Structure 1
């Protein structure tokens, strides 16, 4: 506690109560208000970008970024040895409920951040195309490998629960691979060298959001950096769509709110879908099944998580095509089949 007292003294905070909330978070009460004291994972290498986050938040009026207090010396953090601490306002921590209103606020908020911090980024077109041509071939290889596993399982007189699940999911996963290849072809048709980087949280999930008096805040910016904004979307979708009760329609409506704030280009939409449909985790689960040291139940849970993410990627791809792009009538029939199996 002496270290914490010294840190708080640097902020002119005289606490009469400090309560440990998690391994790295403390609630601090003085005679005026409450504070959140965070023992961060920041390092000398990452703290420069972290400081830039709050500089941008101040300059661009990025209200969804929960502010930090300054020390008496005007610093954003206080260092004790190799440990780095910072202080923010205390907001009553409770699990963020994923109702439509909150989902809309999440998407609007990081859409706003991405839009206001957008920077032009040039790519070498031929290198870019070569990388995705290689990825296309990789997906074709994975597709053949998946078919081989399914054919092998079907030869078994009695399938294990895992094998039965893979065979049951084969149609949708195979369709997702076809959809990935189609989206790669669309992306390869794009010849523009101009892309955009934005300030990305790089670990967006509901546990890193707080809602206070109608205002939504993002916390824990310790991994932040400039990158393609779709990577924040991918991270959030993958975290929130692995469960059986995924609010798919609410997430799709939330995505529309994001597009209102930061309209993605066609090539960004193609890349978003390709990332969400990434089959590698699913195929790795299938490949490692026989050698896995985990129980059958844990393997099935992991397979289900990766499958649900892929399934959501298919729904988003359909939504993108219907809402933001032209649609091929043959694809509509396939998407209707997908809805019937969902």
Structure 2
């Protein structure tokens, strides 16, 4: 009965594509459609995302970017069908066979992400007052985080007997404080470098970069799907969430994450100011500070053990992030040194030639 209901429910939508379904499998927001013309994926999204994501995909196609899972038009040329309060669009069903290991798949994904950004990059005007306001608001927010850290550590250390959570926080405090200081310094460097700039680079970002949204065809070529949250924005808004998710693990030397980032940067190099802003946001210890604030503001509402587990996980994220941040810092320093030495050598050779 359920299978027949699915055929009736989605058959009406598929008629707009002249597709006759024989069997439909339910995968949540995606339906796998076996039909007279092949195997398709019918995706359900909110109508609020509809216009923008279709416009962004069409823009990318026009600019020559074709590593997107195709979206089929209806018979009358529309790219989505509104049914009740939901919007549906149709794609081919990708085989997505594992032909490479995780590291290589991620590298290909980052290469394609860089190419997507290169083809969609454009400068937009930035109001100096808006930049200053953004900077001031961010610094004020981070100053408040610092005030909380200092107040909470004093409160913990003033007790005769600390709770397990408070004892753990005192052990974490220096690392959290140093990360916040580093993050603020990079933001200040960024602002000093850009405060008189009147433009900034933006790209079409995917909005939800993930291996689940990068599928492979039978030839092993990778294609992005799920562009519902795509928009014109800074490229770091694709990179930062992905890296943060990949570092939410037990403590590790996350050299893979460094390699993925520099695979991307090889194809879409950041400007100096973009790198400073990326480093600032990447290193910021917001998650672990928010975990401590949550404990401080809700004592007794959750067990001590759960609070301890929560801050421990956030601290692992901080330490994994710290390792990657320090490797980036080292690599960027080496690059600048090599550039300076090359410039000095060229100048010396020029003087000798003169």
TM above 0.5, yes or no, is: yes
Aligned equivalent of 1:302: 310
Q: TM-score, normalised by structure 1?
A: 0.85
- For the pair shown, the structure with the greater C-alpha radius of gyration is 2
Note closer, same or farther for the CA distance 1:98–1:140 as it changes in structure 2 (3 Å cut).
farther
Determine which of 259, 277, 297 is the counterpart of 2:265.
259
Moved more, 320-329 or 241-250: 320-329
Determine which of 55, 66, 86 is the counterpart of 1:83.
86
Note closer, same or farther for the CA distance 1:97–1:214 as it changes in structure 2 (3 Å cut).
closer
Determine which of 4, 10, 13 is the counterpart of 2:19.
13
Q: Which runs of 5+ in 1 are unaligned?
A: 330-342
Measure, in 2, the Cα distance between the counterparts of 1:116 and 1:294: 49
Cα RMSD between the aligned structures? 2.7
Q: TM-score, normalised by structure 2?
A: 0.83
Alpha-carbon contact 2:57-2:227 (below 8 Å) kept: no
Determine which of 109, 113, 118 is the counterpart of 1:115.
118
Q: How many residues align?
A: 326
1:263-282 correspondence runs (5 A): 263-282=269-288
Aligned equivalent of 2:292: 286
Alpha-carbon contact 1:96-1:210 (below 8 Å) kept: no
1:207 aligned onto 2:207:
no
Note closer, same or farther for the CA distance 1:142–1:246 as it changes in structure 2 (3 Å cut).
same
1:153-302 correspondence runs (5 A): 153-191=156-194, 192-212=197-217, 213-244=219-250, 248-290=254-296, 291=298, 293-302=301-310
Alpha-carbon contact 1:96-1:206 (below 8 Å) kept: no
Measure, in 2, the Cα distance between the counterparts of 1:295 and 1:62: 51
1:192-249: CA deviation from partner (whole Å, max 9, x where unpaired): 2221111112222233232334222222111111111111111111222112266721
Of Structure 1 and Structure 2, the greater helix share is in 2
Measure, in 1, the Cα distance between the counterparts of 2:306 and 2:118: 40
Measure, in 1, the Cα distance between the counterparts of 2:286 and 2:236: 19
Aligned equivalent of 2:319: 311
Moved more, 265-274 or 308-317: 308-317
